[in-house]
Amino acid sequence: MFRHNLPFKKISLLAATCGGLLVTLATLSQAGGPPPQQGKPVSQPETMPAGKPVGEPSPTVSPSPSGMPSKPTTEKPTTDAPPRFPMPSGRVTPAEGTVVIKLVNSTNAVINYQVVGVTPPRTLGEQSEMVLKNIKVPITLTYQRPDGGLLLVRTQATATPGMLQVSFGATTDLGADTKSLEIQEDGRVFLN
């Protein structure tokens, strides 16, 4: 009789284990699945499946609350992503490959500047202006306040063809501070 009860005890133990597992799965399913991942997600480079154009969304399979894969869905690209390349801060139309740069210092501080490879380091006085003529593009203009103050730079094409006005103002916003300006051959202006 002892042997006859042994298979029954094994089946009872197996049934109890499976029943406990089912209760756990049902509880997770009713609660909406496992707890969400805590912390920052790991950043991974964007990869596209072979044969898919970069602009076309790829189908993905996302798990349902029961843990089983659901139907494939197509993810739409987000529009909140930053641009891959910085946008130009201005534009000037070069005349015969050269530009005229009008520097305007509206701060109460001296500004040191230099057109890299063209002019030696120079100083622009407080509340003053300077015009740099016939500067061949592309160029890089560097600038800084000797006292370490921050500069807010604004660029603007003028009514004079081939002239760009660069206005220097004071700021306390570290994110707005720049140290150089680039004018590309096509006249696009970038602040760095």
127 lies in some domain: yes
Total domains present in the chain: 1
Indicate if the pLDDT at residue 47 is higher than 50: no
Indicate if the pLDDT at residue 176 is higher than 60: yes
Per-residue pLDDT reduced to its tens digit, 131-151: 999 999 999 999 999 999 999
107 lies in some domain: yes
Three-state DSSP class for 145? Answer: coil
Report whether 162 contacts 92 (CB < 8 A).
yes
Phi first, then psi, for residue 89 (nearest 5°) are -85, -10
119 lies in some domain: yes
Question: Strand 128-136 vs strand 163-171: parallel, antiparallel, or unpaired?
Answer: unpaired
187 lies in some domain: yes
144 lies in some domain: yes
36 lies in some domain: no
Percentage of residues in the chain with pLDDT exceeding 70?
A: 56
Q: Which helix (H) or strand (E) holds 12?
A: helix 2-30
Q: What is the CATH number of the domain that holds 144?
A: 2.60.40
Q: Which domain holds residue 171?
A: 93-191
Higher per-residue pLDDT: 148 or 25: 148
11 lies in some domain: no
Three-state DSSP class for 17? Answer: helix
User: Is the pTM for the entire model greater than 0.75?
Assistant: no
181 lies in some domain: yes
pLDDT, mean of residues 82-109? 89
Report whether 81 contacts 143 (CB < 8 A).
no
Rounded CA-CA distance 129/39 in Å is: 51
pLDDT band per the 50, 70, 90 thresholds, residue 87: confident
Rg (CA), the chain: 33
